């Protein structure tokens, strides 16, 4: 692992701490495009915010057991992560959160 990976992990930990203690609940929505990566990133996401995971691959275990604020949506595997983000915006246009954080979390 290189230095930038550890820097990224440190940034995620600090971000989680700040959001958990200083941001009101459900103000931020984390939208994650997921294929067949590990779900290790769940431990770095805040527990008091919405998390929507769009899965385009297969899943090995029930990730909803880890956090109660996770919404899982299965999509067909076509397009890239940008297609996933556009799908989310169009589908939720009237109900978008105040802050939307789009990410492909590869850990």
57, 79 contact by CB (below 8 A): no
Residue span of the structural domain in which 8 resides: 3-103
- Cα 17 to chain centroid distance, Å, stands at 16
Supply the pTM of this predicted model. 0.79
Residues whose CB is less than 8 angstroms from the CB of residue 41 and which lie 6 or more positions away in sequence, other chains included: 12, 32, 105, 106, 107
With b meaning 16 or more CB within 10 Å and e meaning fewer, what string describes 66-81? eeebbeeeebeeeeeb
Give the total number of structural domains in the chain: 1
Q: What is the pLDDT of residue 48?
A: 85
Over the stretch 62-98, which tens digit does the pLDDT of each residue have? Answer: 655 556 788 889 898 888 888 999 999 999 999 998 8
Write the CATH number for 72: 3.40.1380
């Amino acid at each position: 692992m290189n230095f930038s990976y550890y820097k990224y992990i440190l940034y995620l930990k600090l971000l989680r701490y700040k959001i958990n203690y200083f941001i009101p609940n459900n103000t931020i929505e984390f939208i994650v495009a997921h294929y067949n990566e590990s779900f290790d990133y769940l431990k770095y996401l805040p527990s008091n915010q919405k998390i929507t995971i769009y899965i385009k691959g297969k899943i090995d275990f029930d990730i909803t057991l880890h956090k109660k604020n996770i919404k899982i949506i299965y999509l067909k595997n076509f397009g890239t992560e940008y297609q996933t983000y556009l799908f989310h915006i169009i589908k939720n246009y009237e109900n978008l959160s105040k802050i939307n954080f789009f990410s492909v979390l590869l850990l």
